[in-house]
Structure 1
Amino acid sequence: MKMIGVIGGMSWESSTEYYKLLNRHAKARLGGHHNARSLMLTVDFAPIEANQRAGDWNALGQQMADAARQLERGGADLVMLATNTMHRVYESIEQAITVPFLHIADPTGEALRAAGVERVGLLGTRYTMEQTFYTGRLREHYGLETLVPDEAGRADVHRIIYDELCHGNVQDASRAVYQGVIQTLAERGAQAVILGCTEITLLIKPEDCALPVFDTTALHAQAAVEWAIDTHQPRG
């Protein structure tokens, strides 16, 4: 099994989910006492979040590239970034390393197309919902039309991620807010919903949702394990 390198810590709450999922998928595939061979480099989220708010994506790209290089030097055969938002700078990571980089949108796009979905709702941080680095990739690579919440909905979804979920604070009232946002997306024609922030999986489970759920965290982790076992090249 190849070594999976994970850039984590954004937030560490979601990185713990990645670690569990990587090992569960490896055990499911290989059985017995097997688990995933992995390295995780955990960054300090405080300066990352500050640079996000400041819009300093160049600095963020340098930070992510440095982390990826450290993982490659440590023996990683594949690098993955355990956050949706920071894929805003994925090109900086790809350019910094010689091993493959597994983009988080690709396993989700492939799963959506396999399910016959053409129009999908997206929940995530403001950066993911409002910028084009994520929705554009889904459109260009997978022909998907992506719907995002209205301004008020985006504000609620973003606030709950940063003020609650990043701190491990899971509130029933916030779940109800997300369910309302998802219902509105369904009324606008969404056939499914992407949980496009790795912390959202702490709050919304498939049984909580009126639409089929495509959880980027779970799909990303599974794709990494499949690659590590089968040594297929991920899409760049």
Structure 2
Amino acid sequence: MRKAVKTIGILGGMHWRDTLEYYTNINTEVVNSVGIQHSARLCIQTIDYEHLSNIIEKDSWDEAIDYLIGISKLIELGGADFLIISSDVNHKIENKIQKSIYIPVLSLVDALANNLQHINVKKVCFIGDRNLMENSYYLNQLQSKFNIKTHIIPKVLRCELFKEDLSTLEIDTILSKMVNNCLAVNVKTIITNDNLILNSIKKINSEMDIININYVHAQEAVKVAIGDEKI
């Protein structure tokens, strides 16, 4: 790949499917940017979630952080020029990871904010899994660093979405209520980490702007890799 001089390091997600999604998104964006014959230069290390969850269950957060930092250092030694973290859970410790390695970490929130500023969006709503919707990390980072406000879906609707074994019709009904809740406060941009939710909302209201946060992160990584952006 003529322009792609940087190697993207990927700290894998909590499940191999998360890592696969990033791999696919990055290479899709490379093809879109520089042509179908090209692919990204990558250095990937996946997370053994069984091992990590056992550490977390023991409430050994320092050990969990050390485990993730150790994997990040392996990526750095493998030749990566910068690092992206493909699990939105792990983004909460990205500052600790950054302090432990020499290569820069491309922040998920920074990538999202750059995209939102480019399209002049000042207020958003997160609709996705529990971590995305109920973690104050994203809200605080967007507000404090970029002055982008976040509308929070009412708890009763969030609890409905998080129920197990919902039918497609039930999910669509709940999402429709959430979309109406956003529109009632003039929020027309939804951030998600779930392509099923993204496609459902598109069917419910085609005028809503829906952004896949993971794809935006991958897109920003490719811009850095081919030299169009700096971290």
Q: Same fold (TM over 0.5)?
A: yes
Alignment-derived partner of residue 41 in structure 1 = 45
Provide the residue aligned with 1:9 in structure 2.
Answer: 13
Q: Partner of 2:99: helix, strand, or coil?
A: helix
- How far the C-alpha of 1:152 sits from its partner, in A, is 2.6
1:222 aligns with 2:219: yes
Structure 2 counterpart of 1:116, from 114, 120, 127: 120
CA RMSD, Structure 1 to Structure 2 (Å): 2.7
- Alignment partners' CA distance in 1, 2:44 and 2:106: 15
Please state whether the residue corresponding to 2:31 is helix, strand or coil. helix
2:26–2:218 Cα contact (<8 Å) kept: yes
Q: Any residues of structure 2 matched to 1:131-210 within 5 Å, and which?
A: 131-157=135-161, 159=162, 171=168, 173-195=170-192, 197=193, 200-205=194-199, 207-208=202-203, 210=205
Aligned residue number for residue 92 of structure 2: 88
Q: Secondary structure at the match of 1:204?
A: helix
1:227 maps to amino acid = V
The superposition leaves residues 84-128 of structure 1 with CA deviations (integer Å, 9 ceiling, x where unpaired) of 222111112111210010111112112212222212111244444
Q: 1:214 to 1:173 in 2, by over 3 A?
A: same
Rounded to whole Å, the distance in 2 between the matches of 1:92 and 1:43 is: 17
Question: How far apart are residue 209 of structure 1 and its match?
Answer: 5.3
Alignment partners' CA distance in 2, 1:46 and 1:185: 37
In structure 2, what is the equivalent of residue 22 of structure 1? 26
- Cα gap change, 1:86/1:193 in structure 2, threshold over 3 Å: closer, same or farther? same
Separation in 1, partners of 2:157, 2:72: 34
Task: Give the 3-state SS of the residue equivalent to 2:120 in structure 1.
Answer: coil
Aligned to 1:105: 109
| Structure whose CA Rg is larger | 2
Mapped to 2, the partners of 1:72 and 1:107 lie a distance apart of 21
Percentage identity across paired residues of the two chains: 22
The change in CA–CA distance for 1:145 and 1:26 in structure 2 (over 3 A counts) is same
The 1:130–1:115 alpha-carbon spacing in structure 2 relative to 1, beyond 3 Å, is same
- Work out whether residues 62 and 92 of structure 1, in 8 Å CA contact, stay in contact via their aligned partners in 2: no
Name the amino acid aligned to 2:190.
V
Q: Which runs of 5+ in 2 are unaligned?
A: none
The answer to whether the Cα contact below 8 Å between 1:122 and 1:193 also exists between their aligned partners in 2 is: yes
Residue deviations 1:160-202 (CA, integer Å, cap 9, x gap): 7xx68xxxx995643443343233222233231111x3xx124
Q: How big is the shift at 1:130?
A: 3.2
Deviations 1:132-184 (A, max 9, x none): 32111111221111012222333344x37xx68xxxx9956434433432332
Shift in alpha-carbon separation, 1:101–1:53, aligned structure 2, 3 A: same
1:232 deviation in Å?
Answer: 3.6
- Runs of 5+ in structure 1 lacking a partner? none
Number of the residue aligned with 2:74: 70
